[in-house]
Amino acid sequence: MNEVKSNKQYHPQMHSAEHILNQTMIRMFNCGRSFSNHIEKKKSKCDYHFERDLTGAELEEIERRVNEVIQNDLKVVEEFISKDDAGKEYNLAKLPDEAGDTIRIIKIGDYDACPCSGLHVSHTNEIGRFKIISTSFNDGKLRVRFKLFDGLSEKL
Q: In sequence order, which residues have a C-beta less than 8 Å from that of residue 21 and are 6 or more positions away?
A: 34, 46, 62, 66, 130, 144, 146
Report how far residue 88's alpha carbon sits from residue 66's, in angstroms, rounded to the nearest whole number: 27
Say what percent of the chain tops pLDDT 70.
90
Q: Compute how many other C-beta atoms are within 10 angstroms of the C-beta atom of residue 67.
A: 19
Architecture, CATH, for domain 12-149: 2-Layer Sandwich (3.30)
Burial, 58: exposed, middle or buried (Cβ in 10 Å; 0-12, 13-18, 19+)? middle
CB 103 within 8 A of CB 86: yes
Tens of pLDDT, residue by residue over 34-50, are: 999 999 999 999 999 99
Tens of pLDDT, residue by residue over 81-113, are: 999 999 999 999 888 878 889 999 999 999 999
Give the pLDDT mean for 1-12.
52
pTM: 0.90
Report how far residue 57's alpha carbon sits from residue 38's, in angstroms, rounded to the nearest whole number: 25
Is residue 113 classed as helix, strand or coil in its secondary structure?
A: strand
Q: Residue ranges of the domains in the chain?
A: 12-149
Cα dist from 152 to 70, 94, 135, 145, whole Å: 12, 35, 23, 19
Give the pLDDT mean for 146-150.
95
131 pairs with which residues across the strands? 147
Q: Compute how many other C-beta atoms are within 10 angstroms of the C-beta atom of residue 22.
A: 20
Report how far residue 140's alpha carbon sits from residue 105's, in angstroms, rounded to the nearest whole number: 29
